[in-house]
Structure 1
Amino acid sequence: VWLGPRPAVVLCGLEAVREALVEQSADFSGRGTIPSVSKITRGYGLASSNGERWRQLRGFSVRALELWGNGKTSLEDSVREEAAHVVEVFRETDGMPFDPTFGLSCATANIMNAVVFGRRMDYTDRKLLTLLEMIDENMRVISSPWGQVYDMLPGLMDLLPGPHNRLFRNADAIKAFLRGMIAQHKDTCDWENPKDFIDNFLVKMKEEEDNPDSEFNEENLLLSTFNIFLAGTDTTSSTLRWGLLLLLKYPQIQERIQREMEEVVGTTRSPVMADRKRMPYTDAVIHEIQRYANIIPLNLPHVTTRDTQFRGFTIPKGMLVIPLLASVLHDPSHWESPHTFDPNHFLDERGQFKKNEAFIPFSTGSRMCIGEKVAQTQLFLFLTALLRNFTLGSRAEPEAVDIAPLSSGFSTLHRPYLLRCSPRQQTGRGSSA
């Protein structure tokens, strides 16, 4: 296909995607350019880099996330603490209809705050709210026709007024905020006991300051922080919002999750990650939310690193490659009813959780998203905390709830909706988390 003046190879179906990204990973592991993203990152940072820069940054970032997740305050501890906060935000709506975007975005942003900055921010903090507004606007712009036309004809669009220009103004403002956070970390870093991603990166920069081949520098720190914070905040929040919308559409699924929770953990506490294996239906619902919502349908583009043979075709070096995740997550040869929301896609005949090789919302191969564990932990703990404390409803009858996407460009966006939370009776202490 042609994307404006650029030719591209589109990979459809699990077999083609897996063959390219896993079996021929070395040939297809380059990061293709998205003009709007490239204008912001200029090839720096974890998500946009290639070659040795990417290898150094990815290896470091994977280790840094593992160290943080297993630290004094573990990933699970951080998410459970944040779940208590978001439950209280929902409780304060007092049963009135509200948009859940604010609370869920604050919650997922605070997990990324903990990862990147080593601290959470209050939900009333104006800096946090401004960041979330800019992130939300950028996802809408990049998924809109304006964003899509920009990525096909960037030279022309740079000359024209329009919403696409807000994308770059917002990105500059977010980077300015991150530069301020990095400057604070330089003053406070405990070089022997780094507490977060920025601290660990600063330590690595100091260790390699005499290495001329090191990619650990200010620009890669800024853009890697930018990548991790934005990607981790928006995609998880969007998935949770999709999940709540789908539970409004199918209240019987919500009720079954609540029954399973009570059978497995009782009514005196919320589930913890160790309970997930004993909650196969809940696990299946969370996987099905991710499959059905198809948050990043086009995946991030790849590029071939050398001339390569693929399925009888010669693909030249530098060819843009789009692994179409939507074609895998909604492939009728791997899903019984691909366009229907059905948790049975992940349940066997005994009602136990079953994996499906076509479940790749985080992509696959060497460029697979490094934040899968962080995202899955949030999805399970946030969703179960909310369903333990509330029955979710809407002013509309379930059959009138519209689950058709609002738009599907870079990201699949749901339609705006209002949620009503009715408190459930709980016993014991610590009922909110």
Structure 2
Amino acid sequence: MAIQRGAHLVFPPDPLSFRSWGTPCPWTLIPGSCSRTSDRSGDIFSLYVFHKPLIVLNGYNVIKEAIVKNADVFSDRPHSFLTDFILKGKGVVGTSGDLWHEQRRFALNALPRVWSGKNHHGGKNTRGNCTWRTWLRLLLICSLGASETTSTTIRWALVYFLNYPDVQDRCFQEILENVGQSRRPSMKDRTNLPYVEATILETLRYADIAPIAVPHSVAQDVQFRGYTFPQGVTVILNLDSVLQDTDVWGDPQNFRPDRFLDDAGKIQKREEFIPFSLGSGRQSLATPHMYKTCA
């Protein structure tokens, strides 16, 4: 459905419990309870934080329609203490529009070089509206975020290895057969280690380490799926509602790496696999580094 402007204003429903709480910390509520709330209130509903409304999007189809098909409308970032005072409106988390696209291009080009140990020369010290300090801050934030994501994934993988020794044995045997013990694995080995990669993907899905994406916003009043999204409202993408969706995964409560393998034992892409976010360019910058480190 195309987004319409200037239509009748209808705000998404808010479960009475959330409105009455006015909770200052909804992030712990959203992953589990909001996924259950969507069963009663639909895939789009609101909640209040300090009496300020947030709109929560649930389910793959709704999130994709907003963030991919209508990316130009939902690509803004909301104003917050993090974006305005800590990040000072800079970085891929705190920017919108052309500045975000410029900083994303830099991050995508620079981070692989950093992780591979190659030198990166940015050329000019100033590009567009960004000074070299901005680029340094961006590189630091992205690197720290990717490193934290990788380390958290490894910790959860170790937990699952203890609980699922058969998965650990299969990963170990695959590495022995294709890499051996005399050298470290590299990205070149990736195609020969499908079960290892499937285990990493299942760890990201099952652990749900980022149950909600970085908040989005809209630059003006818009109508989406019959509801009004006021200008500047914070929009929350409940990724947990996708990663734990029974209709998508069948048995999401089970840790089963084989769900990411086809009949030939090769990695099969699942478009509903969105452990960090969804949309052109907002996929995780950490994934290649994570594969190399975990393997």
Q: Under a length normalisation based on structure 1, what TM-score does the superposition of the two structures give?
A: 0.53
Residue 65 of structure 1, aligned match among 111, 115, 128: 111
Dislocated runs of 4+, deviation >4 Å: none
Give the AA of the match of 2:161: L
1:319 aligns with 2:239: no
Does 1:25 pair with 2:71?
yes
Matched-pair identity in %? 36
Deviation at residue 283 of structure 1 after TM alignment: 1.4
Q: Say whether the 8 Å CA contact 1:329–1:360 is kept in structure 2.
A: yes
* Contact kept in structure 2, 1:57 and 1:215, CA below 8 Å: no
2:83/2:89 contact within 8 Å kept: no
Structure whose alpha-carbon radius of gyration is higher: 1
Residue 376 (structure 1) aligned to one of 282, 287, 291: 287
Q: Is the 8 A contact 2:277 2:284 kept in 1?
A: no
Deviation (angstroms), 1:216: 1.6
| Runs of at least 5 residues in structure 1 that lack an aligned partner in the other structure | 70-74, 79-113, 119-194, 209-213, 385-433
User: Cα offset for 1:23?
Assistant: 0.5
Q: How has the CA–CA distance of structure 1 residues 294 and 232 changed in structure 2, closer, same or farther, with 3 Å as cutoff?
A: same
Say how many residue pairs are matched: 249
Q: Secondary structure at the match of 1:8?
A: strand
**Helix, strand or coil at the partner of 1:11:** strand
Assess if the C-alpha contact under 8 Å between 2:111 and 2:143 holds in 1.
no
| CA deviation profile, 1:228-259 (whole Å, cap 9, x unmatched) | 23212211111111111111111111111111
Does 2:261 correspond to 1:347? yes
Q: Structure 1: how far apart are the matches of 2:190 and 2:75?
A: 33
Q: Which is further off, 10-19 or 278-287? A: 278-287
Aligned residue runs from structure 1 range 257-296, under 5 A: 257-296=171-210
- Structure 1 counterpart of 2:66, which letter? A
1:51 and 2:94 aligned? no
Deviation of the 1:222 alpha carbon: 4.8
2:159 maps to 245
CA contact (8 A) 1:47 1:227 kept: no
Q: Any conservation in 1 of the 2:111–2:139 contact (CA below 8 Å)?
A: no
More helix by share: 1
- Opposite residue 4 of structure 1, the aligned amino acid is F
The alpha carbon displacement at 1:347 in A equals: 2.0
Q: Could you tell me how far apart the structure 1 residues matched to 2:60 and 2:167 are?
A: 28
- For 1:353 and 1:218, the matched residues in 2 are separated by 40
The answer to whether the 8 A contact 1:31-1:49 is kept is yes
Equivalent in the alignment of 1:215? 129
Q: Offset at 1:15?
A: 0.7
Q: CA RMSD in A?
A: 2.3
For residue 34 of structure 1, report the CA deviation from its aligned partner: 4.3
Structure 2 spans left out of the alignment, 5+ residues: 1-46
In structure 2, what is the Cα distance between the partners aligned to 1:351 and 1:218?
46
CA contact (8 A) 1:34 1:301 kept: no
Instruction: Give distance in 2, aligned partners of 1:19 and 1:45.
Output: 25
- TM-score under structure 2 normalisation? 0.76
* CA distance in 2 between partners of 1:267 and 1:59 (Å): 37
